[in-house]
Homo-oligomer: A and B are copies of this chain.
């Protein structure tokens, strides 16, 4: 007798997904209750729950207590990106990594930086500009602000030798992060550091972190032309 192996939650997930793709469950439809699906597949309700949890996280269905499970009618594409330490990113491309400190100074935060942190009053922070190189070519130019109230230790770090990006990642855990992507034309200053014509289109990553509600750092990373960020597969 060919007894079928027991269904796993991924099997259930894939079957349900197939039904959604084939419009057996069409956009907007309400799916059967977990318990009924469990009965149909001959598995425990927990297994169906695990499958549904995954589908909900992928953005395929929406689940509400009492409301049941519905196929989203205007599906969104959900993509996840990993933003590694710049050195790791460079080395993973098989390139030689180098780092140059460009400037380091205490400055009052301008309104743009205050907005990123959600602050209403200016504050003195450490501003650090630095360049990351891959195979001796400019790779990413970063303009960073570090809050010296939450992170006074940064003042003692020799940033000519140690990279603020890595020092923070290794020494300053954060509890909240905000990430934004955009594009901008290189200013004369940017262009100079990145060795690219003024006005070049640069890919911009803005990353701001907090510990609790206290600001830690915000950084605007400008990637040299040609930079492309790919979503995680899977």
Contacts and interface: CB of A to CB of B under 8 A. Distances in A.
Number of copies: 2
Contacts of A185: 185, 199-201
A77 B201 contact: no
A115 interface: no
Interface of A: 20-23, 27, 59, 74-85, 88, 169-170, 173-175, 177-185, 199-204, 207, 211, 223, 225, 227-231, 233
B84 A21 contact: no
Contacts of A179: 77, 79, 230-231
Given A21-B175, A181-B203, A201-B202, 9 more contacts: A21-B211, A78-B80, A78-B82, A79-B179, A81-B181, A178-B231, A185-B185, A185-B199, A200-B201
A19 to B, nearest CB: 11
